[in-house]
């Protein structure tokens, strides 16, 4: 077998093993391999182990060789929760926040999510595409090779939701980073339906969800189950309707109020429950039992300055698989830097470095249903690999706020170099 790229002398975190999310003690078991050789053939990993290569592999003058001595090699990172495609930005609200203006007051002035909805509706496909591509380029530079992208800034204007998903679909075709699309028509109740939200739920179920499925615009269906947004009963209806059509459920659960979103995610067989700062003990028990991946977003807690973080340690102790993501969006977390979120996961959520790297590789892959072909360095999986210019994982998280990426390999090709 011809080897097109060879990584030698690597300190590798392989995450090799069962193709499933890790939980409990296993979340901290990452498969260190010192002095490793990793051979790539085409877009797949062909060999992981010690030198020399077995005789069935051939290396010639065309084989690209990378000496990873003194560097850390990991699976390509996966950002499993973003609102990638959106118009505008909200830096004009930054000063108001510093002055102590409450978010609801900003909302009443036409700011907050209303501002993003307006900007996204008004933006052309090309403007949204270019803006999202720029963010993807930044994410790639941080070692990210797969990104989940939610719609959700139409808020009742289905044409805008479609436009967001079509942008994501085109970027998945054009960009080296893989995009996985989530329909989030249930991000908020439109103003026109404020006094009759169940009617909007009917529209979602009867009109929007079938269109999304028929046109293959998304793999997942997400609902913001929160006080003042969608109730548990309304969320259940939307998620089960989508599930019947083939869209796997995701839940924005228990972000602000302990409403029962964690319990609902387990009940409906969601692939992930996200945020979970206010999750109940029962919710944790249910998520653990059903092995729903908890996608935690420490950057949002950090930026909102609420001094409330998801109870990651309790979740790990109870057996909930944890993923970490940026929640990149223009409001609560305007940052594409997954490496920074990894540091915050240790500093704020008290996760070990090993638990954190698991959370942005194999567990993040499981949160978007891609654990079969990525999230670990093992034979047969996609050749998505990140090389960081650090001697240890501990140093990577300790030295926070900068970019440690040296090289990114996607589908067996070098796509980024410092």
- CA angle 405/48/373 to nearest 5° reads 75
pLDDT tens-digit map of 62-118: 999 999 999 999 999 999 999 999 999 999 888 888 888 876 577 667 778 889 999
CB atoms near residue 91 (< 10 Å): 9
Pick the CATH number of 78-367 from 3.20.20.140, 1.10.8.60, 3.40.630.30, 3.30.470.20: 3.20.20.140
Domain ranges of the chain: 5-76+376-417, 78-367
Q: In the structure encoding, which two tokens stand for residue 231, read together?
A: 């109730």
What is the rounded distance in angstroms from the CA atom of residue 244 to the CA atom of residue 298? 32
pTM for the structure as a whole: 0.97
Q: Class assignment of domain 5-76+376-417? A: mainly beta
What is the rounded distance in angstroms from the CA atom of residue 368 to the CA atom of residue 363? 9
Q: In the structure encoding, which two tokens stand for residue 106, read together?
A: 């900003």
Residue pair 397/349 in contact (Cβ under 8 Å)? The answer is no
Please check whether the two domains, 5-76+376-417 and 78-367, share a CATH topology. Answer: no
Residue pair 262/286 in contact (Cβ under 8 Å)? The answer is yes
pLDDT tens-digit map of 313-338: 999 999 999 999 999 999 999 999 99
pLDDT tens-digit map of 324-375: 999 999 999 999 999 999 999 999 999 999 999 999 999 999 999 999 999 9
What integer pLDDT is reported at residue 103 of this predicted model?
A: 67
- Mapped onto helix, strand or coil, the DSSP state of residue 417 is strand
Q: In the structure encoding, which two tokens stand for residue 276, read together?
A: 């979970």
């Amino acid at each position: 077998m011809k080897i097109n790229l060879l990584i030698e002398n690597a300190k590798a975190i392989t995450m090799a093993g069962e193709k499933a999310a890790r939980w409990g003690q296993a979340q901290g078991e990452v498969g260190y391999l010192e002095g490793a050789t990793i051979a790539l053939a085409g877009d797949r990993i062909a060999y992981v182990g010690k030198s020399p290569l077995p005789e069935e592999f051939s290396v010639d003058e065309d084989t690209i060789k990378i000496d990873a001595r003194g560097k850390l090699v990991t699976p390509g990172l996966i950002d499993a929760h973003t609102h990638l495609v959106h118009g505008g930005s909200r830096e004009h609200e930054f000063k108001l926040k510093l002055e102590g203006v409450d978010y609801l007051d900003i909302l009443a002035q036409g700011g907050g999510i209303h501002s993003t909805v307006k900007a996204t509706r008004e933006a052309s496909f090309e403007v949204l595409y270019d803006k999202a591509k720029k963010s993807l380029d930044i994410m790639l530079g941080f070692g990210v090779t797969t990104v989940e992208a939610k719609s959700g800034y139409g808020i009742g204007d289905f044409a805008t939701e479609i436009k967001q998903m079509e942008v994501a679909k085109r970027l998945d075709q054009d960009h080296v980073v893989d995009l996985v699309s989530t329909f989030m028509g249930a991000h908020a109740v439109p103003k026109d339906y404020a006094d009759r939200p169940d009617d909007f739920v009917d529209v979602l179920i009867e009109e929007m969800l079938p269109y999304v499925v028929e046109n293959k615009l998304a793999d997942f269906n997400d609902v913001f189950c929160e006080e003042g947004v969608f109730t548990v009963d309304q969320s259940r209806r939307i998620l089960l309707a989508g599930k019947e059509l083939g869209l796997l459920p995701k839940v924005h659960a228990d972000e602000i109020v302990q409403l029962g979103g964690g319990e609902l995610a387990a009940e409906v067989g969601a692939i992930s429950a996200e945020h979970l700062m206010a999750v109940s003990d029962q919710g944790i028990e249910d998520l653990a039992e059903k092995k729903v991946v908890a996608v935690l977003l420490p950057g949002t807690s950090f930026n909102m300055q609420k001094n409330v973080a998801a109870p990651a340690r309790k979740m790990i102790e109870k057996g909930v698989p944890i993923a970490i993501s940026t929640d990149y969006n223009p409001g609560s977390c305007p940052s594409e830097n997954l490496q920074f979120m990894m540091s915050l996961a240790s500093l704020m959520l008290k996760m070990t470095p090993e638990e954190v790297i698991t959370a942005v590789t194999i567990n993040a892959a499981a949160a978007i249903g891609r654990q079969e072909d990525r999230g670990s360095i093992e034979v047969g999986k996609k050749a998505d690999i990140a090389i960081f210019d650090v001697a240890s994982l501990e140093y990577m998280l300790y030295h926070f706020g900068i970019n440690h990426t040296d090289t990114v390999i996607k589908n067996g090709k070098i796509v980024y170099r410092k």
